[in-house]
């Protein structure tokens, strides 16, 4: 018993040596983050003034120019936009309106899907139900598409197509805003055994149909797998859009599980690449209004709808990642990176996804700079674009700077890159971190995060998380981490929706996240050694 | 002790005699209400097809014509519209759009206030904050109006005026949909002692400023008091509107505590009477979008807004109450009345306020008719209009048919009217009834409602409730009752809002309410005696 305790003590001691937290620095960081915070001012710029920030749009570029100036004004060095591309078509909304004009007038709450084609002025059509059973399983989707084409060929000209059945709006007594309970966090802390990320074979991989299995499925894919899967899925959606356009549909209306209670949520109608034609004007309609159209059509009073959509496009544009640095000292060639995706969807202003993450990461470098803390390693901030279309910006950046996961030929920078910290799960404060099965990082994070336990940061889990830009780093064997964040109303209200706006971001949550991450980055940048890595992955298929 | 018990026993016995519930009839009513329900079909007609139903509008009249035909098709007798008036100006929306055009394009979620004037095509203006501290206390409001006029005279020409400060949108972890708990119902059942409704003296009555005291204050007013109070309040709002129009404001934007998370809620800009001029185009803007405009204006980037509002008006119209009857037998000259207000606001389709109540009351007469139950008294259904402008339809009806509360000269019909049952607290199922301090009705309702205890109907309270049409009956000494209903999302989502639509009405709740009320009405119509009354009120000042 004693011997075991002694061994444990030694192990902890050896860790403590280089990962001891400097509590005086922590105190300074907290004071800067809470008492002199600029994070909500940054967020207002990214959202109210310059949002939304759809990748490729001139608006995203203007937002980046503003953010760059702001970083420069804080003394951040080497601020520049690093080009990647080609991305595809630039697309933004200039004006739109969706109205029911018969049997009653009603302005419908709707949102164009990105990369929809515009209308020629206002166009009016009768609605028709043409139900397409959507699926994330491309095989099922292809089968459904074949049936759909056969059934509706020649029947859609001049119509406004309702593509989904009536939506279930059973009332829920659950609150919309959620914070993790201690029990949920304890559950998250339980390791589930490492599982390597896998690729995606369009011909062989079975995509689950059950909604509850989709999350784990997406989480199981490596970056190459994500790219292949998204290309196939959006390709099929694009094929459907082409059919609807060729058939002369005036517009296409869809429902979306998140678009209810008067809200909308919208992603893209088809692929953004310039070689794919734009589809018909396509809108997500809030479920209550959508259901009204379906019920009226079913009751024999097919409503007439007037649609207007003016979009601004440019055929083939590149995109960028926004880079800035705090130069290091003794080990200035080594890197600690922080990042968040800067791009957003277009329905709201991109506040929780991911203005919040971008504002926090900008605040992190502001805090470190304004405290004039001595950093051994260079701290590099990169704000990505193209995340929403499949982590495009971070994948391009990692390939350019560190390694192509296909070949795993490493650059010299790969050897000097310590670790990457990402923030992209909404506006909620930090409750812990996913260490992505990097066992050696668990005790490191445990020590780093201990001073923030009384701010709710309790959980270091070996588990992995997916769907955001740390994956690009992990894919080439570089330590990349996403924090655990309180969900708030990210899943229930804001995700990709028209209510993803400034007011759904609580200032206290961003201040806490800024303090926590600034401290993590400071300790990573001053640690004796670079961060421990997992074994290098093999070249991906 | 024994004697007391014996007296109690006798008292109960004497009640039981005529208020014994016929459980075989109850069974038939339940079967008709649940197994052959038409209530959601009725609701779809009133909302999806013919809603909204703003008093005075041609749409409300069309909805009434449809409902009349439906009642006739069920065999309801003497179906007709009974005119009252003049109401004021007919007003309905033909088209509108509210867009931010600088510094970014954004379609704003907004709703015109009723009786707003239209724009001449689309008009664009810069926003200006001109904060008016709104109050339900007319004295405070008059003071604020004087200050406001002084401060903003000459400063609003060509501007879009933001009339409220930034709205607090603190996230709430409360669910939006609520059902009463047993504890809450038990609390409601506690009597609080009778308090006579009182009048309102514009010069003397102190209107509380604290939001939590406003409900009880409104509830304390008699119908004359409500009328006087509303006339004064809307008069002041009208005066403000006139100032804003005279000053050349392009449009007026307001916030509303209920208009958040992408929803809107809207009542009226000023008075509906034709002698009051219409105000400037006025809109409630959902809080997130409203706040964005305020923040941008405060940050020095005054946004530009484009507003278009086309309204259809007619200067001076009457309105109507929709009447239908199931003729009685042995006591066919005596009346049992059921009703609900048929009019709605214009933001949604008037589903929970009060399509639900109207559909249920129509269903009640359908159930009684289709079961061919023998009714001694005549059952009269009246669906009111003008409720939202101050119970106008029911007050006019009661004055015409029963008594003028000012004189208390009673008609002969007053002596033959047994009681009135009202439904207007949203779409929630029935949990009990307010007996309005009519002590003798408590045991009656307790017996009538007992068979529905296992459907959640448990609470007969002596307490009063306000804000709807039973007050018009109570004001002239006629038994008039409103049921206790589960709140659902009436207070949190639908009340006077754009989401007051069909999908926020649960079918099971309406079926339950239809069954409960049909049974109550059947037993009232076949009861040996007319319902017990409170002492006649004195003529109101």
Average pLDDT of chain B to the nearest whole number: 93
Looking at the structure, do residues A422 and A331 belong to the same domain, yes or no?
Answer: yes
A176 to B177: CB separation less than 8 angstroms, yes or no:
no
Split at pLDDT 50, 70, 90, the class of B175 is confident
Token pair in block for residue A234: 């959006």
- Mind giving me the DSSP string for A159-197? EEEE-S-PPP-----SBS-B---HHHHHHHHS-------
Enumerate residues 151 to 190 of chain B having a beta carbon within 8 A of any beta carbon in chain A.
Answer: 169-179
Query: Could you give the C-alpha distances from B339 to B359, B393, B428, B455, in angstroms and in order?
Result: 10, 11, 17, 22
Cis peptide before B52 (omega within 30 of 0): yes
What does the pLDDT read at residue A1? 40
Task: Identify the band that residue B100 occupies on the pLDDT scale cut at 50, 70 and 90.
Answer: very high
Closest to B286 in 3D by CA, of B241, B252, B253, B311: B253
Cα–Cα distance for residue pair A131/A274, rounded to 1 Å: 28
Residues A134-147: pLDDT tens digits?
Answer: 888 989 999 999 99
Domain span holding position B132? 90-315
**Above 90 in pLDDT, residue A373?**
yes
Q: How far apart are CA B511 and CA B32, in angstroms?
A: 9
Note which residues in 32-61 of chain A have CB less than 8 A from chain B.
Answer: 44, 48-51, 59
Rounded to whole angstroms, the Cα distance separating A331 from B7 reads 97
Taking the alpha carbons at both ends of chain A, their separation in whole angstroms is: 49
Is there a domain that residue B537 lies in?
no
Is the backbone peptide bond immediately before B366 cis, with ω within 30 degrees of 0? no
Query: Which residue on chain B is closest to A288 by alpha carbon?
Result: B503
Q: What are the percentages of helix, strand and coil residues in chain A, rounded to 5?
A: 40, 25, 40
The answer to whether the CB atoms of B172 and A171 lie below 8 A apart is no
Among chain B residues, the shortest Cα distance to A287 is held by B503
On average, the pLDDT of chain A sits at 93
CA-based nearest distance B98→chain A, Å: 10
Q: Are residues A99 and A49 in the same domain?
A: no
Residues B70 and B103 in one domain: no
Partners of B94 on chain A (C-beta within 8 Å) are 105
Taking CB atoms and an 8 Å limit, are A107 and B96 in contact across chains? Answer: yes
ipTM of the predicted structure?
A: 0.95
Q: Does B500 touch chain A (CB under 8 A)?
A: no
User: CA A480, CA A534: separation in Å to the nearest integer?
Assistant: 11
pLDDT digits (tens, 9 = 90+) for A237-277: 889 999 999 999 999 999 999 999 999 999 998 889 988 88
Counted domains in chain B: 2
Per-residue confidence band for B283, with pLDDT thresholds at 50, 70 and 90: very high
The answer to whether B309 and B286 have CB atoms below 8 angstroms apart is no
Q: What is the mean pLDDT of residues A89-111?
A: 98
Whether residues A332 and A224 fall in one domain: no
Length, in residues, of chain A: 541
Highest-confidence range of A174-188, B225-239, B373-387, by mean pLDDT? Answer: B373-387
User: What mean pLDDT is predicted for residues B111-119?
Assistant: 97
The span from the CA of B279 to the CA of A447, in Å, is: 64
Q: Does pLDDT of A9 surpass 50?
A: no
CB contact (8 A) between residue B49 and residue A299: yes
| B17 pLDDT above the threshold of 80 | no
Say whether B292 and A171 touch across the interface (CB within 8 A).
Answer: no
In degrees, rounded to 5, the angle at the alpha carbon of residue B253 between the alpha carbons of residues B248 and B257 is: 150
Least confident of A152-156, B42-46, B167-171: B167-171
- Would the pLDDT of B393 be above 50? yes
- pLDDT for res A67: 98
User: What average pLDDT does range B387-409 have in this prediction?
Assistant: 95
A494: chain B residues, CB-CB within 8 Å = none
* Encoded tokens for A419: 């670790």
Pick the residue from chain A with its C-alpha nearest to B50.
A104
Residue A516 and residue A369 in one domain: yes
Determine contact, residues A48/A502, Cβ cutoff 8 Å: yes
Whether A535 is covered by a domain: the verdict is no
Non-local CB neighbours of A454 within 8 Å, separated by 6+ positions: none
State mean pLDDT over A211-229.
86
A392 Ramachandran zone, left/alpha/beta (phi>0; psi -120 to 50): alpha
pLDDT at A5: 40
A541 pLDDT band, cuts 50/70/90, is low
Whole-angstrom Cα distance, residue A401 to residue A389?
Answer: 21
Q: Is the Cβ of A501 closer than 8 Å to some Cβ of chain B?
A: yes
Are A27 and A518 in contact, with CB atoms under 8 Å apart? no
pLDDT at B7 over 60: no
CATH number at residue B291: 3.50.30.30
**Residue A160 domain-assigned?**
yes
Between chains, do B177 and A172 touch, taking CB under 8 Å as contact? yes
User: Angle, nearest 10°, between helix axes B223-246 and B138-152?
Assistant: 0
Q: What is the pLDDT of residue A192?
A: 78
Give the per-residue pLDDT at B191.
77
Write down which residue in B315, B331, B356 finishes a domain: B315
Q: What is the pLDDT of residue A8?
A: 39
- Give the C-alpha separation, B68 to A13, whole Å: 85
User: B-contacting residues of A 301-330, CB under 8 Å?
Assistant: 301
What's residue A234's pLDDT?
84
Do A304 and A167 lie in one domain? The reply is: yes
Residue of A nearest to B306 (CA): A95
Report chain B residues whose CB lies below 8 A from the CB of A44: 295, 299
State how far residue A86 is from chain B, nearest Cα, in angstroms. 25
Percent of chain B past pLDDT 90, that is, above it, reads 82
B121 touches A: beta carbon within 8 Å: no
Q: Average pLDDT of B310-327?
A: 97
Cβ contact (<8 Å) for B489 and A177?
A: no
B304 and B424 fall within a common domain: no
Q: Could you tell me which residue, A364 or B198, shows the higher pLDDT?
A: A364
- Which range among A85-89, A226-230, B299-303, B515-519 shows the weakest confidence by mean pLDDT? A226-230
Nearest CA in chain B to A292: B48
**Which tokens is B420 given?**
């009135």
Nearest to A489 by CA among A424, A422, A432, A426: A426
Nearest CA in chain B to A428: B171
Same domain, B211 and B171: yes
Contact of A288 with chain B, judged by CB distance below 8 Å, is answered with yes
In chain A, the percentage of residues whose pLDDT exceeds 70 is 97
In the predicted structure, residue A7 carries a pLDDT above the cut 50:
no
- Is B46 contained in some domain? yes
Among B389, B387, B343, which residue's Cα sits nearest to residue B50? B343
Contact check, Cβ <8 Å, A263/B261:
yes
- Asked if residues A284 and A255 have their Cβ atoms less than 8 Å apart, the reply is yes
B42/A485 Cα distance (integer angstroms): 46
A129 SS3 class: strand
Distance of CA B519 to the CA centre of its chain: 24
Q: What is the DSSP letter of A472?
A: H
User: Which of the 8 DSSP states describes residue A229?
Assistant: H
Provide the pLDDT for residue B247. Answer: 97
Measured between beta carbons, the chain B residues lying within 8 angstroms of A95 are 99, 105, 107
**Residue to test with chain A: of B262, B306, B492, most A Cβ within 10 A:** B262
Do B356 and B412 belong together in one domain?
Answer: yes
Q: How many Cβ pairs closer than 8 A exist between chain A and B? A: 139
Closest alpha carbon to B525 in B280, B274, B234, B331? B331
Q: pTM of the prediction?
A: 0.95
| Residue in the structure block whose two tokens are 């009351």 | B361
Give B265's contacts (C-beta < 8 A, 6+ positions apart). B111, B256, B258, B259, B284, B347, B495, B496, B497, B498
**Which whole number is the average pLDDT over B505-533?**
98
Q: Are residues B188 and B271 in the same domain?
A: yes
pLDDT digits (tens, 9 = 90+) for A44-92: 999 999 999 999 999 999 999 999 999 999 999 999 999 999 999 999 9
The pLDDT score that the predictor gives to residue A71 is: 98
CA-based nearest distance A500→chain B, Å: 9
Domain identity same for B425 and B411: yes
Q: For an interface test with B, give the residue of A171, A300, A426, A494 to mutate (most B CBs within 10 A).
A: A171
CATH number of the domain encompassing residue B328: 3.40.630.10
B9: in domain: no
A349 contacts in chain B (CB < 8 Å): 106, 292
Q: Are residues A269 and A330 in the same domain?
A: no
B408 Ramachandran zone, left/alpha/beta (phi>0; psi -120 to 50): left
Of A262, A488, A503, which is closest to B287 when you measure between CB atoms? A503
* Chain position carrying tokens 């308090």: B195
When pLDDT is averaged across residues B10-39 and rounded to a whole number, the result is 84
The answer on pLDDT for A315 being more than 60 is yes
User: What pLDDT is recorded for position B365?
Assistant: 98
* Residue finishing a domain among A314, A340, A365: A314
| Confidence at residue B224, expressed as pLDDT on a 0 to 100 scale | 85
Is B540 within a domain?
Answer: no
Nearest CA in chain B to A291: B503
Last residue of a domain, one of B315, B347, B376: B315
The residue ranges of DSSP E strands in B174-249, in sequence order, are: none
d(CA B183, CA B186) in angstroms, rounded, equals 5
pLDDT-derived band at A227, boundaries 50, 70, 90: confident
Q: Which of residues 424-453 of A touch B (CB under 8 A)?
A: none
Position B29 scores a pLDDT of 98
Q: Which residue of A has its CA nearest to B303?
A: A49
Contact A93 B105 (CB under 8 A): yes
The pLDDT, as a whole number, for residue B310 is: 98
Distances (CA, A) of B334 to B80, B261, B471: 19, 50, 21
Closest CA to B440 of B5, B15, B9, B7: B15
Stretch B254-259: mean pLDDT: 94
Min Cα separation B283/chain A (Å)? 14
Cβ atoms A499, A493 nearer than 8 A = yes
Residue A15: its pLDDT value, please? 54
Q: Is residue B10 part of a domain?
A: no
Q: Does B80 touch chain A (CB under 8 A)?
A: no
Report yes or no on A330 lying in a domain.
yes
pLDDT higher at A17 or B206: B206
């Amino acid at each position: 018993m004693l011997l075991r305790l002694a061994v444990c003590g030694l192990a902890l001691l050896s860790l403590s040596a280089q990962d001891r937290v400097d509590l005086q620095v922590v105190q300074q960081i907290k004071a800067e983050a809470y008492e002199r915070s600029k994070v909500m001012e940054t967020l207002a710029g990214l959202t109210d003034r310059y949002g939304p920030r759809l990748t490729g749009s001139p608006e995203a570029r203007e937002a980046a120019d503003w953010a760059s100036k702001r970083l420069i004004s804080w003394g951040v060095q080497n601020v520049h936009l690093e080009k990647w591309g080609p991305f595809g078509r630039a697309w933004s909304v200039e004006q739109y309106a969706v109205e029911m004009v018969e049997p009653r007038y009603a302005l419908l709450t709707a949102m164009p899907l990105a990369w929809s084609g515009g209308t020629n002025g206002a166009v009016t059509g009768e609605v028709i139900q043409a139900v397409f059973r959507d699926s994330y399983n491309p095989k099922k989707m292809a089968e459904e598409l074949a049936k759909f084409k056969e059934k509706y060929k020649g029947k859609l000209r001049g119509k406004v197509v309702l593509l989904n059945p009536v939506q279930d709006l059973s009332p829920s007594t659950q609150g919309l805003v959620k914070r993790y309970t201690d029990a949920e966090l304890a559950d998250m802390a339980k390791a589930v055994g490492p599982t390597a990320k896998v690729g995606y074979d369009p011909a062989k991989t079975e995509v689950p149909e059950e909604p509850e299995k989709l999350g784990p499925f997406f989480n199981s894919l490596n970056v190459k797998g994500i790219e292949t899967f998204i290309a196939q899925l959006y390709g099929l959606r694009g094929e459907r859009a082409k059919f609807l356009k060729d058939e002369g549909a005036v517009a296409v209306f869809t429902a979306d599980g998140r678009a209810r209670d008067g809200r909308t949520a919208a992603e893209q109608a088809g692929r953004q690449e310039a070689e794919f034609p734009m589809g018909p004007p396509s809108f997500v309609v809030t479920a209550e209004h959508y259901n009204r159209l379906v019920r009226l059509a079913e009751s024999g009073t097919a409503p007439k709808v007037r649609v207007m959509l003016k979009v601004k496009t440019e055929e083939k544009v590149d995109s960028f990642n926004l880079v800035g640095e705090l130069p290091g000292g003794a080990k200035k060639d080594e890197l600690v990176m922080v990042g968040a995706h800067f791009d957003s969807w277009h329905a709201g202003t991109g506040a929780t996804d991911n203005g919040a993450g971008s504002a926090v990461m900008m605040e992190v470098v502001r805090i470190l700079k304004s405290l004039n803390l001595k950093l051994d390693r260079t701290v590099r901030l990169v704000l990505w674009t193209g995340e929403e279309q499949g982590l495009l910006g971070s994948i391009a950046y990692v390939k350019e700077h560190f390694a192509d996961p296909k070949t795993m030929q490493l650059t010299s920078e790969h050897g000097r890159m310590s670790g990457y910290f990402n923030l992209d799960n909404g506006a909620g404060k930090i409750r812990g971190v996913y260490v992505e099965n990097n066992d050696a990082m668990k005790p490191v994070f445990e020590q780093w995060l201990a001073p923030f336990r009384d701010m709710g940061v309790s959980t270091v889990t070996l588990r992995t998380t997916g769907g955001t830009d740390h994956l690009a780093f992990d894919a080439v064997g570089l330590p990349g981490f996403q924090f655990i964040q309180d969900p708030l109303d990210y899943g229930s209200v804001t995700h990709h929706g028209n209510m993803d706006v400034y007011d759904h971001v609580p200032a206290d949550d961003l201040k806490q996240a800024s303090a926590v991450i600034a401290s993590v980055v400071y300790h990573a940048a001053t640690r004796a050694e670079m961060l421990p890595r997992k074994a290098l992955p093999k070249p991906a298929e």
